[in-house]
Structure 1
Amino acid sequence: MIKKGCSVELFLVIMGLELHFTAPCPKNCVCYPSPMTVSCQAQNLVSIPEGIPNSSERIFLQNNRITMLLRGQFNPFMVTLWIYSNNITYIDPMTFDGLYLLEELDLGDNRYLRSLASGTFHGLVKLHALHLYKCGLYALPDGIFNGLHNLQYLYLQDNQLEYLQDDIFMDLVNLSHLFLHGNKLWRLDQNTFRGLTTLDRLLLHQNNLQWVRRAFHDLKKLTTLFLFNNSLAELPGDALAQLGSLEFLRLNENPWECDCKARSLWDWFRRFRGSSSSVICESPKELQGRDLKALTKEDFRSCTGSESLHQTKTNTFTTSEKVSHKNHHHPHLTYEENEESELHSYNNLPVFPTESRPRHRQHGRNCSSNRHRYKTIKTGSTASKKNMIEVHKTYGKEYTSDFEQKTDIEATNPPRRKTKCTRKTTLQTPSGVQQANGIPPIHANLFFFWLVTLFAIIR
């Protein structure tokens, strides 16, 4: 016979419940089982709530007024943490220490954060997506991304970044998407993107870029490059020569000088078989308003080989020149100033590719898909619909994205990946009080009513 002390546990197992789901839910939060989820969004919380069950795998704290993140506030079983759109000003460097299972961390839209310690994300060996958009960041400390070998999506857009030091992304050997648009970057050096051999999309539009050296030499898998709305007057053709997989290129809204220094870029376009925006000449006067791509050899009849070589040399700086240029600023173009600019539409947006083993580069295993992992709308954005279209359905939230834009680019279908990839388990996202996996939220009163009824039956 089964002992009475064991009958309660057996009854709960038969009913599909587990004992650890009976842990109390934090005040003003809603909890879901399987996987254990705690949703405390939009509750005007000023700190991390107490009483979060230790077994929680997903914690949603977005749209509150939380100001600090400290060590010991999160459990080591956590897989997903959303804490975007708060008032975070300080993150203890040990806040995420020991969270070896964490896969997605969204700290975006914390506009007063402004700085991070170099070791903040160390040890997050399974992290796939890191969101640091709209955090007021002025700089990235050396080594901040060290050890993040499984990171595939990095969101750094809409900050105040002016400069990216060499090898800052060196450890991100599986990164496929890098978003850097809407910052104040003014130059890209030869080793800025070194090591990003699996990168698929690089967005650098709406910065202050004036000089681009051979920054793209490792990006042999890159299919999408956005450089529109910068301050580029020239771009050497050899800066793009290594982009053998490039399919979509946007260079419009730059003050292009179509003199002899533009000859190498014109030559590169003659060999390029992908889709690109227009490259409208601003000077010289006789070519003003014409598209560089539509020029002919006759337009460069007075150019010599030495002038083309001069183009590359003018983009080479000494260390002292780097320091002097670092403090040089150009007016940053806002979204309002570019409402009427042509935009390009991407209907097929990615989901997480297959997890790759740390420290092993797997060329070509960028398993992007057209399916959306989540279908809930991310709130808390203050951007105007006219300026940024919220259509980027990625990882459970619709991010303000510049992918869906209208331009004169002809969209083409990306080539199929030949390598088969095993998809990750889909994480269903609660929206407010949305039920998880069809199981209603746990209510303490109903649970105790079941227990009382069960004991009455046993007796």
Structure 2
Amino acid sequence: MLASGSGPEQRTRLVLQWRQISWITCWITLYAVEALPPCPFSCKCDSRSLEVDCSGLGLTTVPPDLPAATRTLLLLNNKLSALPSWAFANLSSLQRLDLSNNFLDQLPSSIFGDLTNLTELQLRNNSIRTLDRDLLQHSPLLRHLDLSINGLAQLPPGLFDGLPALRSLSLRSNRLQNLDRLTFEPLVSLQLLQVGDNPWECDCNLREFKHWMEWFSYRGGRLDQLACTLPKELRGKDMRMVPMEMFNYCSQLEDQNSSAGLDVPGPPCTKASLEPAKPKPGAEPEPEPSTACPQKQRYRPVSVRRAIGTVIIAGVVCGIVCIMMVVAAAYGCIYASLMAKYHRELKKRQPLMGDPEGEHEEQKQISSVA
């Protein structure tokens, strides 16, 4: 009786347990569905890669309901012309942001303030003319930055100070004419720099950046062609191939500017200190020590210093060779004069009648002298 009755009771218990498990599963599923972030209207969302693709939708504003866990946000090929400072607020997990092919002309200084994990930023093909110095200060993990095909005429000092991890930077097709070396020195991890298709003026303002380019290439960095636009003598030439001797006039200009600045009153050199003291009446004027301000030492690039050293060494070698040639010529002249004198004496001593013994001795003497 116990065995026969245990079967239906066991099946009833299993049915009850299965119903409980089913209800729990349904509740968990409903909770998970409600917990998932909603996808913005017309955008495509990938729950595995946490990517939100809103490209090519003709958007004029950034969707306000972006999931907070988004890692990749694609907003390229839209009609974005202006972005509010809170456009990407609360997206601290965002790693890749693409704003290419839009109409952006200016970016607020704090627009990327919450993107502390950003590693890639694409701003290609916009109308950006100026950048704020603090624009990228809150993205220390940024590795790839594309600012190509914009209207940038200059880069503010300190723009890259907080980007020690940046590896690739594109500044192609802008309006850049010169760059400051100090702006790029913080980029210790930079491996690729693109600066082509800009109206570069290869003058004194670009000299220091040329030094930085040589150092960047020396440590293994890749750099595309920086073709000069001005002056006409250097048009089309790569700035890296222009010898440093072409910029000697820059040092002369610096010296002229420094000497012209001596007449400007103010510490540490004043105009009063440059005026000689008036001599007393009736006394002979005495020479006074010069109180002129020390001039700034002329800057000489490494290549110029090496060239000067090469000229000095070549001059010393040529001088030694010339001295040796003069000594050899003098020795030859002395030897020729001695031989001529010796032959004249032999002719005087030669007897009137031929003497074979005398001729034999003469030949011996000539052979011994030779």
Q: Same fold (TM over 0.5)?
A: yes
Equivalent residue, structure 2, for 1:203: 224
**Structure 1 residue 137 displacement after superposition:** 0.5
For the 8 Å contact 2:154–2:176, the answer to whether it is kept is yes
Residues 67-106 of structure 1: pairs in structure 2 closer than 5 A: 67-74=81-88, 75-106=91-122
Query: Does 2:229 correspond to 1:229?
Result: no
Counterparts of residues 261-410 of structure 1 (less than 5 Å): 311=246, 313-314=248-249, 316=251, 318-319=253-254
Shift of 1:109: 0.2
The one-letter amino acid of 1:205's match is: L
Residue of 130, 135, 149 corresponding to 2:145: 130
Relative to 1, partners in 2 of residues 1:138 and 1:128: Cα closer, same or farther, differing over 3 Å?
same
Partners of 2:58 and 2:181 lie apart in 1 by 41
Query: Structure 1 residues 69-78 or 96-105, which shifts more?
Result: 69-78
Q: 2:207 aligns with which of 155, 178, 189?
A: 189
- The answer to whether the Cα contact below 8 Å between 2:181 and 2:209 also exists between their aligned partners in 1 is yes
Q: Which has the higher contact order (CA 8 A, sep 6+)?
A: 1
Aligned-residue Cα RMSD (Å) equals 3.4
User: How far did 1:24 drift?
Assistant: 1.8
Task: Give the 3 Å change call, closer, same or farther, for CA 10–114 of structure 1 in structure 2.
Answer: same
Match of 2:45 in 1: 31
Amino acid at match of 2:116: Y
The 2-side partners of 1:31 and 1:180 are apart by: 35
1:316 Cα deviation from its structure 2 partner = 4.0
Give a deviation string over 1:219-255, Cα, whole Å, max 9, x none.
xxxxxxxx9934879822xx5xxxxxxxxxxxxxxxx
Q: 1:317 to 1:30 in 2, by over 3 A?
A: farther
Q: Per the alignment, in what secondary structure is the counterpart of residue 64 of structure 1?
A: coil
**How many Å separate the matches in 1 of 2:69 and 2:142?**
19
Native 8 Å contact 1:208 1:231 kept in 2: no
Residue in structure 1 matched with residue 350 of structure 2 by the alignment: none
| Alignment-derived partner of residue 65 in structure 1 | 79
CA distance in 2, matches of 1:3, 1:145: 57
Q: Aligned partner of 2:176: which letter?
A: L
Distance 1:29 1:235, change over 3 A: same
Preserved CA contact (<8 Å) 2:228 2:236: yes
Q: Would the alpha carbon gap of residues 207 and 134 (structure 1) be closer, same or farther in structure 2, given more than 3 Å must change?
A: farther
Q: Does the Cα contact within 8 Å between 1:93 and 1:119 map onto a contact in 2?
A: yes
- Offset from partner CA, 1:237-278 (integer Å, 9 cap, x none): xx5xxxxxxxxxxxxxxxxxxxxxxxxxxxxxxxxxxxxxxx
2:174 partner SS:
coil
Q: Please give the alpha-carbon distance, in whole angstroms, between the structure 1 residues aligned to 2:121 and 2:145.
A: 5
Structure 1 contact 82–106 (Cα < 8 Å) conserved: yes
Using the size of structure 2 for normalisation, the TM-score is 0.55
Q: SS at 1:167's partner residue?
A: helix
Give per-residue Cα distances to partners, 1:322-368, cap 9 Å, x unaligned. Answer: 9xxxxxxxxxxxxxxxxxxxxxxxxxxxxxxxxxxxxxxxxxxxxxx
TM-score of the aligned structures, taking structure 1 as reference length: 0.45
Corresponding letter in the other structure for 1:154? L
Indicate conservation of the 8 Å contact 1:165/1:192, yes or no: no
| C-alpha distance in 2 between matches for 1:44 and 1:320 | 57
Structure with bigger gyration radius: 2
Instruction: Point out where structure 1 has 5 or more consecutive residues left out of the alignment.
Output: 212-226, 240-309, 323-459
Equivalent residue number for residue 55 of structure 1: 69
Q: Is the 8 A contact 2:207 2:247 kept in 1?
A: no
The Cα of 1:25 is off from its aligned counterpart by 1.3
Preserved contact between residue 104 and residue 127 of structure 1 (Cα < 8 Å): yes
Match for residue 147 of structure 1 among 159, 162, 183: 162
Whole-Å Cα distance in 1 between the matches of residues 227 and 166 of structure 2? Answer: 24
Q: Deviation of residue 10 (structure 1)?
A: 4.9
Cα shift at 1:170 = 1.2
Determine helix, strand or coil for the equivalent of 1:229: coil
Give the letter aligned to residue 39 of structure 1.
Answer: D
Please state how far the C-alpha of 1:317 moved relative to its aligned partner. Answer: 5.9
**Counterpart residue type for residue 85 of structure 2:** R
In structure 2, distance between residues paired with 1:55 and 1:233: 45
Matched residues, percent identical? 24
Quote the offset at 1:26 in angstroms: 1.2
Aligned 8 A contact 1:210 1:231 in 2 = no
